[in-house]
Amino acid sequence: MMESIQSTLKKWMRENANFKDNYEKIRKETLQDPEIKEFLSLHPELEQRVIDKNLIKLYEFKTQSKQCDKCESFGTCINMIQGYSPVLKTDHNDIHLQYEKCHQRIDYEKQKDLENLIKSLYMPKEILNASIDKLDNDPNRSNAIRETISFLREATIKLPTKGLYFSGPFGVGKTYFLGALANKLKESNISSMLIYMPEFVREMKGSIKDDSINAKIDYFKRTDVLMLDDIGAETQSAWFRDEILGSILQYRMMEQLPVFFTSNYTLDQLELQLSHSNRGDTEMVKAGRIIERIKQVSKEVSMSGENRRDL
């Protein structure tokens, strides 16, 4: 059957002058390609029959973009395999065409890896795109900026054991600081987890049903830099305070891993807030224990100024 097909094809080629003319033209152009000529000159052991047999590979090599020379970006790659550049090789007196990652694909994958270093639970896109360069030098925030830059400088050498506890009124830019920090840290391949606390409480309660709570808690414990946004705004639950938040902070305190916080409360005010549960109980000792752990993993920095969300 195969021989019949091949003989029919050969007969068609012999009878079709246009095909033969086009074939000869393509063959000539392919073999005159500077890169292919150089490749063949480096491998004089290749017989003509081998070259002719592999003409389709040589033609494919000729028409593809090599290391992005015909592509403006990874997204506009013209190659058969997006982001892969062709390479001609020989083995056992035969020609092989292989594809290797091009520069733009490597850059693209590196960027995706960097993006994956930031995980978030319910953080708005504006925060995930925040930049240190866009932090204006407002005198009301100068201390926060100074402490943030100091942390980042240390992190390029060794991850500090303490993060920052940004306290201040609604709208002064505390959450934006977390996003800017996370984006700057990823440049040093330092992962971070940003969590909006009220939704985090609901997430943990929901995780009890699908038995994923322990795996999630373990992840929050171990991430390089943990960021808890708007602590104190969540509905108070003794279970969450002691079993979830307390457990995470205890682990990070023992392992000397930094935590960043934002809150409308100072630490003294937060202690009072955490002491009241939704059952109406007041537990100052347990709340005090949480505050001590917060102090071990962060340094309080107060912020003030205009409500930027109204500007």
Angle between helices 213-222 and 197-207 (to 10 degrees): 140
Architecture of domain 117-310: 3-Layer(aba) Sandwich (3.40)
274 vs 281: CA distance, rounded Å:
11
What angle do the packed helices 55-63 and 34-42 form, to 10 degrees?
130
**Helix, strand, coil in percent for the chain, rounding step 5:** 55, 15, 30
pLDDT at 9: 59
Rounded CA gap, 5 and 1, in Å?
6
Q: Outline which parts of the chain fall under CATH 3.40.50.300.
A: 117-310
Instruction: State the pLDDT at residue 305.
Output: 73
DSSP secondary structure letter of residue 240: I
Distance CA(163)–CA(165), nearest Å, equals: 7
Can you give the pTM of this predicted structure?
0.66
User: Do 82 and 74 form a contact (C-beta atoms < 8 A)?
Assistant: yes
Closest CA to 103 of 69, 134, 126: 69
Contact criterion met (CB below 8 Å) for 144 and 301: yes
As a whole number of angstroms, the distance between CA 259 and CA 223 comes to 10
**pLDDT averaged per 10 residues in sequence order, the chain, 311 residues:** 57 64 84 93 92 89 86 83 90 90 81 66 82 82 92 95 95 91 89 88 81 84 93 84 93 96 95 84 90 97 76 52
Contacts of residue 133, Cβ cutoff 8 Å, sequence gap at least 6: none
Instruction: Please report, to the nearest 10 degrees, the dihedral formed by the alpha carbons of residues 241, 244, 250, 251 taken in order.
Output: -170
Give the chain's length. 311
pLDDT attached to residue 245 = 94
- In this predicted structure, what is the pLDDT of residue 49? 92
- Specify which residues 299 forms β-bridges with: 164
Identify the burial level of 10 via C-beta atoms within 10 angstroms of its C-beta, where 0-12 means exposed, 13-18 middle and 19 or more buried. Answer: exposed
